[in-house]
Amino acid sequence: MKIIPAIDLIDGKCVRLSKGDYGTKKIYNENPLEVAKEFEDNGIEYLHLVDLDGAKSKRIVNYKTLERIASKTSLKIDFGGGLKSNNDLKIAFESGAQQITGGSIAAQKPELFKSWIQKYGGDKIILGADCLNRKIATNGWLKTTEIDVLDLIQEYEKQGIKSVICTDISKDGMLSGPSIALYKELISNTKIQLIASGGVSNIEDLYELSALGCEGAIVGKAIYEGKVTLKQLSALC
């Protein structure tokens, strides 16, 4: 299972939120590159980089930070947050993202998102399926739709998507354990490579997600709050 640390960006700084609430912002480091290099130094290969300013602004914002991390580390970066146009995607890839994650766009402008899958391929485009009580949330989780998470994933599986990052918003940043029952259902009903996100609180959670059959697991607050050490994570890489 891929271990994928997360760096969430606001104003170019490394932050974490609870349940996606911008009012709960906590700054962990003013220099995200420093954090990324520490991940790399501990044998970690992957990075999930989220542009929270972009998610709110509906356009890419923190691409300079993406560029710095991509040019000064060898981390394989998937980048998401605010990617709404062909130009946003072009900037993200030119700035060094190896993959992009599309969340809101997949729910709100399916034809555009499908065109990205066709142009770049299912290996480059990840579906971001962020949900609250199974319903897909958009725009930095500020809005909730009536779309069921399994329906969305199955639809895009038909379109050639290979990987899905699924976040249960009620778990995100809460250090209360991942949404095991939901992930079990998604894995049972699709052939998708599922990347679990939200709620990881200790190393045992990662073993459980791996046993479940998850392709990867994103770890955020557990790292920054010292619940999981980089040494523990490097042993799993």
What domains are defined for the chain? 2-236 (3.20.20.70)
- Extract the tokens encoding 174: 């809460």
CA separation for the pair 150, 221 (Å, rounded): 26
- Output the CA–CA distances (angstroms, integers) from residue 18 to 66, 173, 187, in the order listed: 23, 4, 26
CA separation for the pair 196, 164 (Å, rounded): 8
- Confidence (pLDDT) at 159: 96
pTM (two decimals): 0.95
Q: How confident is the model at residue 35 (pLDDT cuts 50, 70, 90)?
A: very high
- Asked if pLDDT for residue 157 goes beyond 90, the answer is yes
Name residues whose C-beta falls within 8 Å of residue 106's C-beta, 6 or more positions apart in sequence: 113, 127, 128, 129, 152, 156
- Asked if pLDDT for residue 141 goes beyond 90, the answer is no
- Give the amino acid at 54: G
pLDDT digits (tens, 9 = 90+) for 45-87: 999 999 999 988 999 999 999 999 999 999 999 999 999 999 9
Q: How confident is the model at residue 218 (pLDDT cuts 50, 70, 90)?
A: very high
Average pLDDT, the chain: 96
- Extract the tokens encoding 110: 């399916």
164: which strand partners? 127, 194
Q: 190, 151 in Cβ contact below 8 A?
A: no
Q: How confident is the model at residue 107 (pLDDT cuts 50, 70, 90)?
A: very high
- Asked if pLDDT for residue 156 goes beyond 80, the answer is yes
130 a catalytic residue: yes
Q: What is the average pLDDT across 4-13?
A: 97
Q: 89, 116 in Cβ contact below 8 A?
A: yes
- Confidence (pLDDT) at 16: 94
CA separation for the pair 138, 213 (Å, rounded): 27
Q: Give the active site residue among 130, 168, 172, 205.
A: 130
78 a catalytic residue: no
Q: What is the average pLDDT across 136-143?
A: 84
Q: How far apart are the first and last CA of the chain?
A: 8
- Asked if pLDDT for residue 200 goes beyond 90, the answer is yes
- Confidence (pLDDT) at 20: 87
- Output the CA–CA distances (angstroms, integers) from residue 75 to 49, 94, 156, 180, in the order listed: 11, 15, 27, 28
